[in-house]
């Protein structure tokens, strides 16, 4: 599967650097967390789906690293950079073994089916 993104050649040269560096710090922070932790939850304050995902992981006894970027009224530009990077439109973003597995509903389905436990059992090189 490949995701359609606007090719660099279709960006005017004057804006390419801006596009490449726009909120790069937040993307780099998430990339580093995903590289350094088996399970990472990227979320935002006040979001019930983020709380649900964290509770599911707590009940499953799965340690995780949590990154929070603002709430509904702030840091939306930083969160938007993450959405564009990941191609995932909502929060939370749950990563396991370096893979984005989706959000809270996806995590719940994987836990119920046993797929989450199987994925956790796989080795993950940091």
In a domain, 28, yes or no: yes
In a domain, 117, yes or no: yes
- Domain carrying residue 27: 8-121
In a domain, 48, yes or no: yes
Structure confidence at residue 121 (pLDDT)? 94
In a domain, 42, yes or no: yes
Peptide bond into 41 cis (omega under 30): no
pTM tops 0.75:
yes
Per the structure, the count of domains in the chain is 1
Strand (E) positions, the chain? 39-43, 65-68, 93-96, 99-102
CATH for 55: 3.40.30.10
In a domain, 3, yes or no: no
- Stretch 81-108: mean pLDDT: 97
In a domain, 75, yes or no: yes
Model confidence at 2, pLDDT cuts 50, 70, 90, reads confident
DSSP code for 75: -
- Stretch 107-117: mean pLDDT: 98
Tens digit of each residue's pLDDT (9 = 90 or more) over 32-50: 999 999 999 999 999 999 9
């Amino acid at each position: 599967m490949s995701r359609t993104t606007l090719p660099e050649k279709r960006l005017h040269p004057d804006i390419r650097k801006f596009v490449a560096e726009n909120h790069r710090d937040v993307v780099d922070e998430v990339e580093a967390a995903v590289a350094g932790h088996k399970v990472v939850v990227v979320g935002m304050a006040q979001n019930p789906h983020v709380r649900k995902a964290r509770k599911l992981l707590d009940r499953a006894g799965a340690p995780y690293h949590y990154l929070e970027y603002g709430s509904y009224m702030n840091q939306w530009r930083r969160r938007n950079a993450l959405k564009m990077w990941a191609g995932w439109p909502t929060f939370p973003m749950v990563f396991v073994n370096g893979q984005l597995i989706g959000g809270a509903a996806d995590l719940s389905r994987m836990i119920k089916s046993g797929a989450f436990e199987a994925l956790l059992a796989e080795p993950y090189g940091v």
